[in-house]
């Protein structure tokens, strides 16, 4: 499979495919797997085993403070997940979860271990890795200049949404500064931020222009409304993360109407 291709319409990221069964369900619902990105959440056990899991706990046990063997095979390793997904005609989005420590976001995974898995499966140019933890992204960039990296912004992580047009401009500058540091492939934004930029501040066009002018792609999650998906498609968003079964051709048809 060739590296990422950015068509003129959004690609679809299938949200939280944290089991092989979930991956199969997505594949059964789509018509063009090469325009689909399978997303999973990455954490690490106490003994440094990378696992696929969204929540920080599993059956009451904190994953980062528990030995992998104590889960008795109930957690899927990232190694096993990748071994399966790499046989499919899809791209991969790995979202490395983070936790707040002393006012800073710390990734719940080891950058060297993650890169080792990706390199072993020859996935450097087929994967995008995202997290809210900037230090983790910097560590990955120091390891490899090939990896595609994305920074994630979300008020659910305690990040403050810009509250004025001036603050939005400051947010843009913050993104551009970080891009200068590590070379971002994309920013991943909670859709609620963009809805506020659009309806309240009327700066959605300005925001998209500034980010795209810098060569940064835009991904939006979690979009389960067709009308909003069309609006984002018109703005040139490269990825739409969804819980539903939106297909790229459906959005393309909507744009042409």
pTM here? 0.91
How many other β-carbons are positioned within 10 Å of the β-carbon of residue 55? 11
Asked whether residue 181 is assigned to any structural domain, the reply reads yes
What is the C-alpha to C-alpha distance for residues 198 and 77, in angstroms, rounded to an integer? 40
Tens digit of each residue's pLDDT (9 = 90 or more) over 164-206: 889 999 999 999 999 999 999 999 999 988 988 988 889 989 9
Tokens (6 digits) for 92: 């991969």
Asked whether residue 140 is assigned to any structural domain, the reply reads yes
* DSSP bridge partners of 61: 58
Q: What is the CA radius of gyration of the chain?
A: 18
Cα–Cα distance list, 99 to 51, 68, 124, 223 (Å):
16, 19, 25, 24
Contact (Cβ atoms closer than 8 angstroms) between residue 148 and residue 125: yes
Tens digit of each residue's pLDDT (9 = 90 or more) over 50-76: 999 999 999 999 999 999 999 999 999
How many domains are contained in the chain?
Answer: 1
Asked whether residue 133 is assigned to any structural domain, the reply reads yes
CATH of the domain at 34: 3.20.20.190
């Amino acid at each position: 499979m060739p590296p990422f291709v950015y068509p003129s319409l959004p690609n679809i990221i299938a949200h939280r495919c944290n089991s092989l069964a979930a991956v199969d369900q997505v594949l059964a619902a789509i018509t063009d797997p090469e325009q689909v990105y399978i997303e999973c959440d990455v954490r690490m056990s106490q003994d440094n085993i990378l696992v696929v899991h969204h929540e920080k706990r599993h059956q009451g046990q904190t994953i980062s403070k528990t030995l992998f063997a104590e889960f008795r095979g109930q957690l899927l390793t990232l190694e096993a997940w990748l071994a399966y997904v790499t046989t499919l005609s899809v791209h991969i989005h790995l979202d490395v979860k983070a936790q707040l420590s002393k006012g800073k976001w710390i990734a719940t995974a080891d950058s060297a271990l993650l890169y080792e898995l990706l390199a072993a499966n020859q996935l450097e140019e087929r994967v995008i890795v995202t997290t809210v933890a900037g230090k983790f992204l910097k560590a990955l960039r120091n390891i490899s200049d090939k990896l595609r990296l994305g920074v994630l912004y979300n008020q659910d992580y305690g990040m403050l949404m810009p509250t004025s047009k001036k603050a939005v401009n400051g947010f843009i500058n913050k993104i551009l500064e970080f891009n200068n540091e590590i070379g971002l492939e994309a920013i991943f934004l909670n859709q609620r931020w963009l809805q506020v930029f659009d309806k309240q501040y009327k700066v959605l066009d300005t925001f998209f222009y500034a980010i795209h002018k810098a060569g940064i792609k835009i991904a939006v999650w979690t979009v389960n409304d067709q009308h909003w998906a069309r609006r984002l498609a018109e703005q040139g968003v490269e990825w739409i993360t969804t819980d539903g079964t939106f297909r790229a051709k459906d959005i393309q048809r909507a744009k042409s109407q």
